[in-house]
Amino acid sequence: MTELTNLSALDQAKLIREKKISAEELLNETLAQVKKVDGRPGSLEEYIEQPEDKEKVHAFILVTEESAREKARSVDRKVAAGEELGPLAGVPYSAKDVYCTKGIQTTAASRILDGYHPPYTSTVIQRLDRADAVLFGKVNLDEFTFGGSNETTAFKPTVRNPWALDHVPGGSSGGSAAAVAANEGAISVGTDTGGSIREPASFTGTVGLKPTYGRVSRYGVIPFASSMDSMGPISRTVADAAAVLRVIAGFDPNDSASARVPVDDYLEELKKGVKGMRIGISPDYMKITYLDEDGNYSSTAIDPEIESCVKKALRIYKDLGAEIIEDVPMSNTKYSVPAYFVITRIEAYSNLQRFDGLKYGHTTKRPVEDMYDLYYKSRGEGFGYQVKLRLLTGLFASQEKFYEKYYLRAQRARAMLRSDFDEAFDPNGKYRLDVLLTPSTPTPAFQFGGVTATNPLLMQFADQFTSPMNFAGTPGISFPCGLSSEGLPIGLQAAGYDYCESKILRAAYAFEQATSDEDWRKVKPVVLR
């Protein structure tokens, strides 16, 4: 039998349903894989790098073996009794450590939440539990999801890219993507505020889906920027992403942004293909636009290997019967990074005020003079540099005297970004797109300590092709489309309009099937060779 951990989630569930393997057997294999490739879990203890750390993935903060084994055994009992099973019965999965789990530590990869055990469980985790999936661990991330490389986590050692261990896995859902790429569970759930599912998926050769804002409940997920946060799956196949979305999507009265919109049968929709579909390409997504030192917009080309992959993908889609619409204007894309910088920091400042070191999590042990001194010392010790930076910039930009200069202008840019999507996808308009095709990222994964990792401003531009969907509230999916000359994964993004997850999943699936026999599909991450 094929190695169990290499199978898709749907294939794993099928074997369990057919009684060819047990849920506990699959869990054992998954835990063994974690032990083999992951190394020591992330810790808040003083970190001294060991030589062996450079040879492991380090995706996990916590492995919940006891509760996972209990769940696996309950699935096996249901199988034995002939009871109805959930669609992901017995499938082990991990969750980014911002998903609250009752009685299980949830940290957001921050020292300030060390030892925090939530009294409730997020809606996403509840729905996966009802689908009989088996949660077996919490994975690492950029602290409070602030970052694009996984280097800002307080839990060391940080996550490494399974394809090149001296490269970052992307962020902030880097632990989720790395775990899936290293066969440490077929699926993981992450969060995406500006590309935090899609960028790490692109960097690790996995599939990452950001649903429409409001499609998946935010309840019980530690927020970053509440008006842009989306929850979604990372997987190795498009079908697995569709299966997970079918489970976690749907209205939730506990989330004020949750939409009362019917949920499609995404797996069934995959079969429809892309024949007749209008797939657009925009020149504004084929360059990196940035503000130079004089405050003027300048642009530079994306990585030529990524551009080549996009052009090849367009030819494949044309051969599959799609209609290619070229030169779709998305001229406001250049505003996405500056607007993201302002809005997310203001919202992060608002959301992080609740973490004061008093009610739960880290509290300073140093002498304090008063309540304010307690806050000052606890937050100073508990928050990392990137969190402090975003708190301070958010505080600065949210002041009344800067409202019009920063926040109001950023919101106007947000509306302009939305207008690009309205025009491109208008069914009665000039372009009438079903899908917008873009690179997922301007470059493949970069090395630890590279310029984009050390310069927070440059780091932001890695999100230039993903953050517009967060502003617009529209869905996007990143999926593998090739390897660079250095053997690093390259991701392609299919973006759509409100609640059209079925269309972008169809586009991603059609490409996946059409390229299934290509040589680059046969290459494995270095940790699996």
Q: Which tokens go with 292?
A: 């130079």
Q: How far apart are CA 337 and CA 204, in angstroms?
A: 23
Say whether both 116 and 206 belong to one domain.
Answer: yes
CB 261: neighbour CB atoms within 10 A? Answer: 14
Domain presence at residue 369:
yes
Query: In the listed set 406, 436, 456, which residue is the last one of a domain according to the structure?
Result: 406
Burial class (CB in 10 A: 0-12, 13-18, 19+), 489: buried
Contact 194, 463 (CB under 8 A): yes
In terms of phi and psi (left: phi > 0; alpha: psi -120 to 50; beta: otherwise), the region of 481 is alpha
- Residue 385 pLDDT: 93
Burial class (CB in 10 A: 0-12, 13-18, 19+), 2: exposed
Domain presence at residue 332:
no
- Residue 49 pLDDT: 85
Amino acid at 456: P
In angstroms, the Cα distances linking 292 to 288, 295, 296, 457, 498 are 12, 5, 5, 11, 34
Q: Which tokens go with 296?
A: 């003027």
Domain presence at residue 372:
yes
Amino acid at 201: A
Burial class (CB in 10 A: 0-12, 13-18, 19+), 289: middle
Among residues 269, 275, 273, 272, which one has the least CA distance to residue 318? Answer: 275
Helix crossing, 501-514 with 304-319: angle to 10°? 100
- Domain count within the chain: 2
- Residue 1 pLDDT: 46
Torsion of CA 21, 22, 28, 30, to 10 degrees: 60
Query: Which CATH number characterizes residue 238's domain?
Result: 3.90.1300.10
Model confidence, pTM: 0.97
Amino acid at 124: V
Q: How far apart are CA 226 and CA 214, in angstroms?
A: 11
- Residue 467 pLDDT: 96
Question: Most distant CA pair in the chain: distance in Å?
Answer: 71
Domain presence at residue 469:
no
Domain presence at residue 488:
no
Residue positions annotated with a catalytic role:
96, 172, 196
Q: How far apart are CA 510 and CA 505, in angstroms?
A: 8
Query: In the listed set 386, 406, 426, which residue is the last one of a domain according to the structure?
Result: 406
- Residue 357 pLDDT: 83
Say whether both 32 and 164 belong to one domain.
Answer: yes
Say whether both 341 and 262 belong to one domain.
Answer: no
Contact 448, 167 (CB under 8 A): yes
Among residues 82, 61, 81, which one has the least CA distance to residue 138? Answer: 61
Domain presence at residue 495:
no
Strand partners, 92: 134
Query: In the listed set 227, 248, 271, which residue is the last one of a domain according to the structure?
Result: 271
- Residue 360 pLDDT: 87
Strand ranges (E), 64-164 = 92-96, 134-139
Q: How far apart are CA 464 and CA 290, in angstroms?
A: 9
SS (H, E, C) 203-227: HHCCEEEECCCCCECCCCECCCCCC
Domain presence at residue 416:
no
Kindly give the confidence (pLDDT) of every residue in the chain, 529 residues in length, as a single tens digit, with 9 standing for 90 and above: 469 999 999 999 999 999 999 999 999 999 999 999 999 999 999 888 888 899 999 999 999 999 999 999 999 999 999 999 999 999 999 999 999 999 999 999 999 999 999 999 999 999 999 999 999 999 999 999 999 999 999 999 999 999 999 999 999 999 999 999 999 999 999 999 999 999 999 999 999 999 999 999 999 999 999 999 999 999 999 999 999 999 999 999 999 999 999 999 999 999 999 999 999 999 999 998 877 777 788 888 899 999 999 999 999 999 999 999 999 999 999 999 999 999 999 999 999 988 988 888 899 999 999 989 999 999 999 999 999 999 999 999 999 999 899 999 999 999 999 999 999 999 999 999 999 999 999 999 999 987 555 555 556 678 899 999 999 999 999 999 999 999 999 999 999 999 999 999 999 999 999 999 999 999 999 999 9
CA 85 to chain centroid, in Å, comes to 28
401: DSSP letter: G
For 138, phi and psi rounded to 5 degrees?
-110, 135
Q: How far apart are CA 103 and CA 124, in angstroms?
A: 16
Give residue 213's domain range: 4-271
Domain presence at residue 236:
yes
